[in-house]
Amino acid sequence: MDVEKLWQEFGAQQALSGHQRVDLLKATEALTRTIYKESSAFQDGRHSLGTSASQVQQVESAVLDQNWTGIPEYSKRFYKVFGVSSARQHLQRAFIRLALDHLEHGFDGFDASLIYHASHVSDAYDPFYVKWAHTMQGNDLAKRLQADDKAGKVPKPLYNHYTAITSDDGHNYSQVANATFFEEIAAIVTCFDSWISDLEKQEGPTEKLKANYLAYLKQYRACLAETDVEQLEPQWHRLDELWMSVRHHIQVVHDIEYGYGDPLRTKVAPEFSLRLLDESYAADNAQIGKIQDLMVDYFKTRTSDLARGGLNALRLSMAGLYYLPFQAGISLFFRFSGQSIPNRSEVRNAHGVKIYFDPVSMAARQVTAKKLAASVLEEPARQDCIDTIGTLVYHVAAHEIGHAIYGLDAMKDAIKVTTRTLLEEPRAELTALHTMCLMVKADMVSEAQMQQHLASFMLCDLRRFAMWDSQATRPYALSAATNWSKAHDLGYITLTSAKKMTFDDSKAQAFITSCSKDYEDILDAEDGRDGATIEATLHRMEQAEWTPVVQHLLEQLWEKD
């Protein structure tokens, strides 16, 4: 792809002039979306699944909006579309570099260096992810690992987050560090060398921030290059700690999420991102702060060690709506609308968490949610309750803040690894519903507003049924099935004789009250180190798939290949 030619052909210099800072990055993304749709350079990519209108639209939805509905994970079609998506992101990053080189962009030298070199690292991450995904999924070893994990036959050391598992004889397992197995990491390390060298020459906003950022980047490089399996956990643990010292409006986020791409649900998937605080959402960020304070007040009433330790994490945490100018790795097809990280409870308790909300990702998801809602509701206009920023503030915020306290990582010695990864997201969803109860009691929202937020919550979950077989979103699917089944049992949701869904808002309070009790039952089990109750909770959620209302939704929405 001739990037310079596309820059000239689409008049990028003129189109982007006058834009600065985050606005410039957003304008660049809008321009590359247009280029993807119109340029002959992407014609083969647009037709990668075929030339019919529906096939072209399916690719476009995946490439531009991370909506991969109907494209089976880790299939040949998946990797075809992933390649197209990666190419479009490569163009986006190249255009950002050209903008930084040729336009009045408004960033100081330090911030420009962060953006410029992060784009190069991001370019190098996609080949790493593709090799990683082929290794982790879609092969005989992955199937055997999944079966042995269910049977409890996988040796505990193999649950290391940062290794690749091998089996030369087809019977015994072994593992090596990612840096040993994936030669693609060498190119990423080289990018870090250039980045560190350039950043050392820049004048930071403060000497402390510059020192903290350099320490973080140097440790990130060391983690990627580490070949000693025994040193992987302490190295990445130290990286989390150094990262929490970086307090800046531009955040670099390292590979941190596990459980979304491998059969053991324990490997950290390759994902690198750059995130800029979006100041256009100042009022919404302030409201999130009030919700965070409300949650702190609630957890003050709990007297366990988990509550006391988690309160420190809540108080030290930073949260806001951020803009992500480019994607890499697993986020090309599984992009978070919110994150509460790091995941290590020891780091969270000592340093707090960073909580990110992504309005662009949420907006794209809600286009899909509204279409699905219109197809199952007796009154399609009810879909209008779905609101992007409202969802982030009144649903996703409490969910992500909830990860900061009582995370199931604290139960890792009392429950299965897969239970921890499958149940943590449903637990966080219950946090959001519990917090709705708290907001009503505190008069932060009226009962009518709660009903609107709750209906939006439920309708947004319809996406989970459309992608029911996705391993990446399996924890969210379990939560959706459980909530829809409960809502039906309580009469909050009714399936009419015409096989359409209706809401009874008079039952909304009963529903969130019941969910609040479920949430507190989990907290009580954690306080009592009651692993059996946690395991039983997951088992009950898994049974929700077979309830009539969930089976109906799967029949209506699940796009099987």
User: For 127-185, where are the E strands, in sequence order?
Assistant: 163-166, 174-177
Rounded Cα gap, residues 347 and 251, in angstroms: 18
pLDDT along the chain (561 residues), means of 10: 96 97 97 98 98 97 92 95 98 98 97 99 98 95 93 94 89 94 98 99 97 99 99 98 96 92 94 93 92 95 91 86 95 86 88 89 88 95 92 92 90 92 96 98 97 97 94 93 98 95 98 98 97 97 97 92 62
Residues 6+ apart with CB under 8 A from 214: 196, 199, 200
Tell me the H-state helices in 377-446.
Answer: 388-391, 397-402, 417-441
pLDDT at 171: 75
pLDDT at 352: 87
Let me know: does 482 contact 489? Beta carbons within 8 Å: no
pLDDT at 86: 98
Where do we find the tokens 């998946």?
Answer: 78
- CB neighbours of residue 197 within 10 Å: 10
Q: Which of 148, 141, 143, 89 is closest to 119 using CA atoms?
A: 89
- CB neighbours of residue 313 within 10 Å: 24
pLDDT at 49: 98
pLDDT at 336: 82
Residue 210's SS3 state is helix
- Burial class from Cβ neighbours inside 10 Å (0-12, 13-18, 19+) for residue 429 reads buried
Checking DSSP bridges between strand 501-503 and strand 354-357, what pairing results, if any?
Answer: unpaired
Rounded Cα gap, residues 192 and 170, in angstroms: 37
Rounded Cα gap, residues 150 and 161, in angstroms: 18
pLDDT at 370: 94
| 258: β partners | 268
The backbone torsions φ and ψ at residue 497, rounded to the nearest 5 degrees and listed phi first, read -65, -25
pLDDT at 561: 62
Rounded Cα gap, residues 438 and 422, in angstroms: 26
Let me know: does 531 contact 415? Beta carbons within 8 Å: yes
User: For 402-556, where are the E strands, in sequence order?
Assistant: 493-495, 501-503
Q: Which of 511, 392, 501 is closest to 447 using CA atoms?
A: 511
pTM of the predicted protein model: 0.83
Q: Which of 322, 325, 318 is closest to 243 using CA atoms?
A: 318
Let me know: does 270 contact 254? Beta carbons within 8 Å: no
Where do we find the tokens 């009419």?
Answer: 496
Rounded Cα gap, residues 71 and 130, in angstroms: 16
Tokens matching residue 529:
């180190």
Tally: H helices and E strands in the chain: 25, 9
Which H/E stretch holds residue 455? helix 447-460
The backbone torsions φ and ψ at residue 487, rounded to the nearest 5 degrees and listed phi first, read -60, -40
**Straight-line distance from the first to the last Cα atom of the chain, in angstroms, rounded to the nearest whole number:** 32
Let me know: does 404 contact 352? Beta carbons within 8 Å: yes
Residues 6+ apart with CB under 8 A from 468: 477, 554, 558
For every residue of 51-100, DSSP letters joined together read: SSHHHHHHHHHHHHH---TTS-TTSHHHHHHHHHHHHHHHHHHHHHHHHH
